[in-house]
Structure 1
Amino acid sequence: MTRYRFFTATSLDGFLADEHDSLDWLLSQPTGQESILPFDDFIAEVGAIVTGRTTYDWVLEHGDSVEGAWVFTQPTFLFTHRPIAEPRSGITAVSGSPTEHRAAIEQAADGKDVWIVGGGDLAAEFARAGMLDEVFVSIAPVTLGAGRPLLGGRFALELREHGTNGALLEARYALVGERR
């Protein structure tokens, strides 16, 4: 069965990026060799990716590959309301609710997991649609005061596992549901 997972990082005060969409605060954090969910293990379970436009544009500008290239090989669904000048191979631009695209996303995942790369508002849309099973978050010892929220909405989560990775506190949560 396909799981929908939000694997991300946040500041201590709950922001994914600062008010300028910068991740400098995160990229300067020391990490260690230990993790409760090493990225290589996580990504091996991912069959499809879902991302929002701001995250997509940031990765294209700052990713660790050829300039302007999408860094992931899995089929990617880009939720956007703006046209894409030059669509990259493996990227499917979509708009609307997550449920409208569920069948296509799960077919692309081919029995593996779906990684909701970002952002927090998109992850919240998936949660409200009943399409978010797990939140794995690395919490950095820094506050930003403003920026892009971790998860836009009110949700109940259940802690499943926790640990550390260098300066980061890691936590794995199951989504219980939306809080009214």
Structure 2
Amino acid sequence: MPRVIFYTATTLNGFLADDADSLDWLFAVPGGEGGDGAFQEFLSGIGVLVQGSSTYEWVLRQEDLIAHPEKWPAYYGARPTFVFTGRELPSVPGADIRFVRGDVSAVWPRILEAAADRDVWVVGGGDLAGQFADAGLLDEILVSVAPATLTSGKPLLPRDLGADRLTLTGVRQAGAFAELTYAVTGEQS
């Protein structure tokens, strides 16, 4: 059974993005662009990506993917990507993007089928990862904590998840980042 992993970076005080959904703070940190050996190993086990509309729109803008769709594989390869949205969004030409609406539990069978026994990466945002946790579908949180803070922004995981649901399973230094891995158990009660 594939695992569902929320793999992301956060500021020291728990923000994924600033108030304008920008990740400029992340790219200002040495190594913030990612791509080290551990990330490549992680990515090799991923069959499907899942993201919210804000994450998807940020990537579209940041890389100008509508005008330059050839950049998509550098981000995600040929993997299917499910984008949860309540709006009509443009699709990157040639990319396997599947726009979906509604509850993650209702879409889960389609995600599971597309994963083909490989893991599912919840790219972002935090609320979408929280919806997977609420449904009892989130297996792991892998978070890289950056040496940066923001005064406000999009929270890492806007949910109450206590020690009864989170177990620390790994810690490592990755350049300027502290990488923490947590196993997630159970459903939100």
Tell me whether the two structures share a fold, i.e. TM-score over 0.5.
Answer: yes
Distance in structure 1 (CA, Å) of the matches to 2:181 and 2:37: 9
Distance in structure 2 (CA, Å) of the matches to 1:97 and 1:110: 21
Distance in structure 1 (CA, Å) of the matches to 2:187 and 2:110: 25
Contact 1:55 1:119 survives alignment (8 Å): yes
Name the stretch that deviates more: 81-90 or 125-134. Answer: 81-90
- 1:176 deviation in Å? 3.1
Deviations 1:53-97 (A, max 9, x none): 000011112249784533322101110000124464301100101
What secondary structure does 2:31 align onto?
Answer: coil
Provide the residue aligned with 1:59 in structure 2: 59
Deviations 1:74-133 (A, max 9, x none): 101110000124464301100101110111101100000000000000000011011100
- 1:48-87 equivalence runs, <5 A: 48-63=48-63, 67-69=67-69, 70=72, 71-72=75-76, 73-86=78-91
- 1:166-177 equivalence runs, <5 A: 166-177=175-186
Distance in structure 2 (CA, Å) of the matches to 1:131 and 1:67: 35
Are positions 1:111 and 2:117 aligned together?
yes
Contact 2:130 2:157 survives alignment (8 Å): yes
What secondary structure does 2:185 align onto?
Answer: strand
Contact 2:47 2:115 survives alignment (8 Å): yes
Aligned-residue sequence identity (percent) comes to 45
Contact 2:6 2:141 survives alignment (8 Å): yes
Provide the residue aligned with 1:31 in structure 2: 31
The letter for the 2-side match of 1:91 is I
More helix by share: 2
Provide the residue aligned with 1:162 in structure 2: 171
Name the stretch that deviates more: 99-108 or 70-79. Answer: 70-79
Change (3 A) 1:158 1:37: farther
Distance in structure 2 (CA, Å) of the matches to 1:36 and 1:76: 22
Distance in structure 2 (CA, Å) of the matches to 1:95 and 1:146: 28
TM-score, length of structure 2 as denominator length:
0.86
**Gapped runs of 5+ residues in structure 2?**
none
Provide the residue aligned with 2:4 in structure 1: 4
Change (3 A) 1:83 1:66: closer
Provide the residue aligned with 1:45 in structure 2: 45
Aligned length: 178
- 1:178 deviation in Å? 5.7
Cα-Cα RMSD = 2.3
**Gapped runs of 5+ residues in structure 1?**
none
Provide the residue aligned with 1:131 in structure 2: 137
Provide the residue aligned with 2:149 in structure 1: 143
